[in-house]
């Protein structure tokens, strides 16, 4: 493999890791905010959540 191929592979791995981590962080934030909203709604309207 040439120098540039090694270089491209190394940067691709780092970009991939940073991109994956950032993406899963934002997914976790969206997910937990949606769950909080759902639970708060269930607490404020207990009858609706029972049905």
Site residue total, another protein (CB under 8 A): 26
Q: Are 49 and 41 in contact (CB under 8 A)?
A: yes
- Among 1, 48, 50, 51, the residue binding another protein under the rule CB under 8 A is 1
Residue list 9-48, contact with another protein (CB under 8 A): 9-11, 13-14, 17-18, 21-22, 25-26, 28-29, 32-33, 35-36, 39-40, 42-43
Tokens of 2: 């040439």
Nearer to another protein, 43 or 47 (CB): 43
Distance, in Å, from the CA atom of 15 to the CA atom of 21, rounded to the nearest integer, reads 10
Polymer length of the chain: 51
């Amino acid at each position: 493999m040439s120098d540039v191929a090694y270089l491209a592979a190394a940067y691709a791995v780092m970009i991939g890791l940073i991109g994956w981590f950032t993406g899963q962080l934002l997914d976790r934030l969206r997910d937990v905010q949606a769950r909080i909203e759902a639970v708060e709604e269930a607490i404020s309207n207990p009858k609706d959540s029972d049905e």
